[in-house]
Amino acid sequence: MKIGIICYPTFGGSGIVATELGLKLADRGHEIHFISYESPMRLNKFLNNIYFHEVEIPHYPLFEHNLYTLALAGKIIDVVKYEKLDIIHAHYAIPHAISGIISKNVLKDNNVKLVTTLHGTDITLVGLEPAFHPLIKYSLDNSDAVTAVSQYLRTNTEQHFNPEKKINVIYNFIDLDEYKRNPCSKIKESIAPNGEKILLHISNFRPVKRVQDTVRILAEVIKSVPAKLVLIGDGPERSDAEKLSRELGVSEHVRFLGKQHALVDLLSAADIFLLPSQSESFGLSALEAMSCGTPVVASNIGGIPEVVIHGEGGYVSEFGDVVRMAKYVVSLLTNDRKWQTFSDNARRIAEEKFDCKMIIPKYEKLYEKLMSE
């Protein structure tokens, strides 16, 4: 089967999932065509049946802003026409599904099918903007199939948009062979030279990720347990988090590492993963941590409780309750047997619910169903 995947090429969860999906599908013999303005970050190895098509964005003096949605639609038309695609899989409703629909309308005599996967902010943030609401609804109703990455996101979408089509829940997934605990003593010694416990957070540092709350949690934790906080990623909230660490007198215990590629090693070195988000439709970074046997302490927002099972592989707390989250962290860090049980449970949950070997065939089955109609 020939599948075109439209996604953002950045470190965000949707781009990671879309790229990993394409790589896994290619491993299973499908021909994959990525379409975006840059090569996806995770597309870092050669496979004979993977292709990348760059969207060139025209710039005309008449238009103050770029024309990415239309440029993307034009590129999709070109790729579908000349590469004979069977499926267009758009990750995000705006602009990707809209561009896909435009392409289908232009290619009237072509039987290409459009699958739209909702990842979260396209519904919970962008979709609630009055100007975009009807466009999201249009993209849902005119896709051949729609999937969501959590039960929470499906329910939220149905409540706000009342789509004509059934939304299929297909969870995000993890490669258990890649994401497994691989303790690196050099990393631990570098970050925590005196044997301190390591708290870890990974995100794009947007306001909804509540990076400052991780600093507040650390400030509470070190009252009881020597600890270090490692922050991976970058974004608009970094400077405020740095400022807060100085104000709370914990800056010497906080390491800002920026964007990193050695995530498995860093997750394996961590004792606790923190995810105190204000909005999270799934929590892919939490799943990556769990697969590496790192217990998670998170907010009970959105789809997080579907991933982090409270009292098993981690704890969830009310959004913004940093004191409660800090108590959960301390309870794990001061009881080795409890921590090991939670670590084992975290890995087991990843194996039982989110193994890529279970999830990828669900997408294949969906594609095959569409092609047979």
Q: Locate the DSSP E strands across 82-172.
A: 87-91, 113-118, 145-148, 167-169
- Residue 288 to residue 278: CA distance in whole angstroms: 19
In this prediction, residue 321 carries a pLDDT of 96
Q: What is the pLDDT along the chain (373 residues), one digit of tens a residue?
A: 999 999 988 766 788 899 999 999 999 999 999 999 888 877 777 778 999 999 988 877 777 767 889 999 999 999 999 999 999 999 988 889 999 999 999 998 788 999 999 988 777 666 567 888 888 999 999 999 999 999 999 999 999 898 998 999 999 999 999 999 987 778 888 999 999 999 999 998 999 899 999 999 999 999 999 999 999 988 899 999 999 999 999 999 999 999 888 889 999 999 999 999 998 999 999 999 999 999 999 999 999 999 999 999 999 999 999 999 999 999 999 999 999 999 999 999 999 999 999 999 999 999 999 999 8
Which one of 3.40.50.2020, 3.40.50.1860, 3.40.50.300, 3.40.50.2000 gives the CATH number of domain 185-353? Answer: 3.40.50.2000
In this prediction, residue 158 carries a pLDDT of 93
Q: How far is CA 144 from CA 96, 160, 166, 367, in A?
A: 14, 20, 10, 10
Going by C-alpha positions, the residue among 187, 212, 209 that lies closest to residue 198 is 187
- Residue 190 to residue 173: CA distance in whole angstroms: 31
- Residue 291 to residue 347: CA distance in whole angstroms: 5
Intervals of CATH 3.40.50.2000 along the chain: 2-173+356-372, 185-353
Which one of 3.40.50.2000, 3.40.50.460, 3.50.50.60, 2.40.110.20 gives the CATH number of domain 2-173+356-372? Answer: 3.40.50.2000
What are the residues facing 316 on neighbouring strands?
A: 298
In this prediction, residue 338 carries a pLDDT of 98
Going by C-alpha positions, the residue among 63, 64, 7 that lies closest to residue 32 is 7
- Residue 322 to residue 299: CA distance in whole angstroms: 9
- Residue 70 to residue 58: CA distance in whole angstroms: 10
- Yes or no: say if 296 and 272 are a contact pair by the CB < 8 Å rule: yes
190-194 long-range contacts (CB < 8 A, ≥24 apart) are 191/228, 191/230, 191/255, 191/269, 192/228, 194/226
How confident is the model over 303-356, as pLDDT tens digits? Answer: 999 999 999 999 999 999 999 999 999 999 999 999 999 999 999 999 999 999
